[in-house]
Amino acid sequence: MEQTFVILKPSTIERFLIGDVLTRFQHRGLKISGIKMMQLDEKILREHYAHLVDRPFFPSLVASMTRTPVIVMVLEGKEAVETVRSMTGATNCRKAAPGTIRGDFGLSGQENIVHASDSVDNAKIEINRFFKPEEIFDYSLLIRPAIYAADEI
């Protein structure tokens, strides 16, 4: 099934919001295929945020993303990329709709709680960037018939 990549950013770790954000994904029915804490550095952020390296806020973004370790995860579900991206909300938390993670937990454009992959192709690239194959687990969930009808999977 489709997989997507999520980062719980330093502000989430610092504000003790890991559980609240993770619960959102679990209550939606997404399966955690991989999860770990890691310290990011400028090298990996220059790859991950390659589309932003020339923007004036890039040094501040690197400082923000390296302030504490982060939680990285692989979430799995039918159309997981689009589902998680819509749960995340607009980049600027002040513009994000209530009910989204950013719209409920943040007030900043930069300190915006989570990263989520924006396309299926980028999800694959990002998962490979942050996870080794043996850190992603293929297991079955007994609850699956309660999450999807048989003809949906």
Q: Which residues contact 23 (CB under 8 A, 6 or more apart)?
A: none
Q: Is 7 exposed, middle or buried (0-12, 13-18, 19+ CB in 10 A)?
A: buried
Nearest to 128 by CA among 21, 42, 62, 34: 34
Minimum distance from residue 99 beta carbon to ligand UDP (Å): 16
57 binds ligand UDP (CB under 6 A): yes
- Please check whether residue 83 is in contact with residue 30, taking contact to mean a CB–CB distance below 8 angstroms: yes
- Residue 83 in the binding site for ligand UDP (CB under 6 A): no
**Smaller CB distance to ligand UDP: residue 58 or 147?**
58
Site residue total, ligand UDP (CB under 6 A): 10
Q: State the nearest-atom distance from the C-beta of 76 to ligand UDP, in Å.
A: 20
Catalytic residue status for 115:
yes
The 3-state DSSP class for residue 62 equals helix
Structure tokens at 83: 């589902």
CB of 147 to ligand UDP, least distance (A): 26
Q: Does 109 bind ligand UDP (CB under 6 A)?
A: yes
In 10 A of CB 81, how many CB atoms? Answer: 22
Phi (first) and psi of residue 25, to 5 degrees: -70, -40
Does position 61 bind ligand UDP by CB under 6 A? yes
Q: Which residue of 23, 26, 86, 91 would you call a contact of ligand UDP, by CB under 6 A?
A: 91
* Smallest gap from residue 124 Cβ to ligand UDP (A): 16
- List residues with catalytic annotation: 115
Residues that bind ligand UDP (CB under 6 A): 49, 52, 57, 61, 91, 109-110, 112, 115, 118
